Amino acid sequence: YAHYARDLRYMLSDGVVRVERLRDLPCSCPVCRRYDVETFLSLPREELEREIALHNLYVIRAELRRIRQAIHEGTLWELLELRARSHPSLLQALYRLRKYAKLLERSHPATKPAVRGRFYYPTTSAWRPEVLRHVRRLLSNYEPPSSKCLLLLPETEEKPFSRYGPISILASLLRGCVEEGLVHVVVYAFPFGPIPLELDDVYPLSQYERPRRLPLDDRLRIAKLVAAYARRFRGAYEGAILHRDVRGWGAAFYRLLLRELCGAFGAEKVSVTPVRAEEPYSSLAVRELLDEVRRLASET
């Protein structure tokens, strides 16, 4: 802070700016509240350095408090992701953490944090501890119910899926098929990959937000996770129905996922709902999906 002050560099929460470039004082610390920018810049050099140093200390203290609060709330990783995007070198440092992702996951709390809602971002959220833990536990500890068919549904913004939005409505329409062991519903979602519907109310799957549009690498990663689930549990199902949202996930995602599903179950055991201009949970799309499930049931 003192070195920056000697160079007349003014610290912000997301970077540093030379003081002569300031058009306003974007801070409400006790130092900045005493001045307008013109008066601040007109201070004698020694006094200006002292005031900048004091301001920089306030910024550092505020950031430490923000970090402590993030630790308390369980949102430290989200703060890391936000801060990392303020400078390329910080983002590169966050990428380096991927090397230690498994170690971080082992020491990360498994209990629900003080703040329930999670924010997930492209690329860097893929190796967050709770995401890796979900994938590891799903593939090693979970046992799906034996069902004739694995029904894969694209995620929606409403969560938990089983209680809100179109997936909950569809699940109620399919309840009889689920109870008879004809269908097991699994939602594919970013960043977690496959989410069995009966688990979607469990932390951290129940409340989170992510961007509507995802980079191709993130989408292909989800396809690989769903494929890993299909291979791991292919003995529990006779086949799969893939309900598509091409506008949301893209053609490349479905090409990869279809190839993997056909490899797991055989091409003749994988059914795909038609690609339509409508939303994947429009009345027409849901009707076609239910028809496909009924066709499957009639073959029992």
Collapsing DSSP to helix, strand or coil, 275 comes out as coil
Q: Are residues 67 and 210 in the same domain?
A: no
Q: Are residues 145 and 269 in the same domain?
A: yes
48-62, 138-152, 278-292: which range is least confident on average?
Answer: 278-292
Tokens read off for 290? 């239910």
Confidence tier at 115 by pLDDT (50, 70, 90): low
Q: Are residues 285 and 149 in the same domain?
A: yes
Sheet strands side by side (includes 183-189): 193-196, 183-189, 147-154, 237-242, 270-272
Pairing of strands 118-119, 237-242: unpaired
| Helix spans in the chain (H) | 2-6, 30-33, 37-41, 45-73, 76-84, 88-96, 101-107, 129-141, 165-173, 175-179, 216-232, 246-249, 251-265, 283-298
The CATH number of whichever domain residue 189 belongs to comes to 3.40.50.10630
Which residues span the domain enclosing 199? 128-298
Is 199 part of a structural domain of the chain?
yes
Q: How many domains does the chain have?
A: 2
Q: Letter for the amino acid at 107?
A: S
User: 57-67 pLDDT, tens per residue?
Assistant: 999 999 999 99
Q: Are residues 132 and 69 in the same domain?
A: no
User: 140-159 pLDDT, tens per residue?
Assistant: 999 999 889 999 999 999 99
pLDDT beyond 60 at 170: yes
Burial class (CB in 10 A: 0-12, 13-18, 19+), 22: middle
CA distance linking residue 158 with residue 14, whole number of Å: 32
User: 220-279 pLDDT, tens per residue?
Assistant: 999 999 999 999 999 999 999 999 999 999 999 999 999 999 999 999 999 998 876 678
Is 259 part of a structural domain of the chain?
yes
pLDDT beyond 90 at 295: no
